[in-house]
Amino acid sequence: MMFTGIITDIGTVIELEQRGDLRARIGTIYDLKTIDLGASIACEGVCLTVIDTGVEDKKNWFDVQISAETVSKTNLTSWDVGRPLNLERALKVGDELGGHIVSGHVDGLAEVIKIEYEGDSTRVIFRAPAELAKFIASKGSVALNGTSLTVNGMSNTDFDINFIPHTKKNTTWRDVQIGDQVNLEIDTLARYVARLAEMTP
Give the pLDDT of residue 148.
95
Looking at the 3D structure of the chain, how many domains does it have? Answer: 2
Domain assignment of residue 97, yes or no: no
Is the entire prediction scored with pTM above 0.85? yes
Same domain? 78 vs 121: no
Model confidence pLDDT, tens digit, residues 119-166: 999 999 999 999 999 899 899 899 999 999 999 999 999 999 999 999
Give the pLDDT of residue 145.
98
Same domain? 113 vs 190: yes
Residue 4 dihedral angles phi and psi, to the nearest 5°: -115, -15
Model confidence pLDDT, tens digit, residues 108-129: 999 999 999 989 999 999 999 9
Helices first, then strands: H and E counts in the chain: 4, 12
**Cα dist. 23→5, 6, 15, 67, 68 in Å?**
24, 25, 8, 9, 11
On the question of pLDDT at 71 being above 60, the answer is yes
SS3 91: coil
Are residues 159 and 136 in contact, defined by beta-carbon separation less than 8 angstroms? yes
Domain assignment of residue 3, yes or no: no
Domain assignment of residue 193, yes or no: yes
Model confidence pLDDT, tens digit, residues 51-65: 999 988 888 999 999
Domain assignment of residue 94, yes or no: no
DSSP 58: T
Task: Domain of residue 41: give its range.
Answer: 9-89
Residue 85 sits in a domain whose CATH number is 2.40.30.20
Among 149, 161, 167, 185, which residue's Cα sits nearest to residue 10? 167
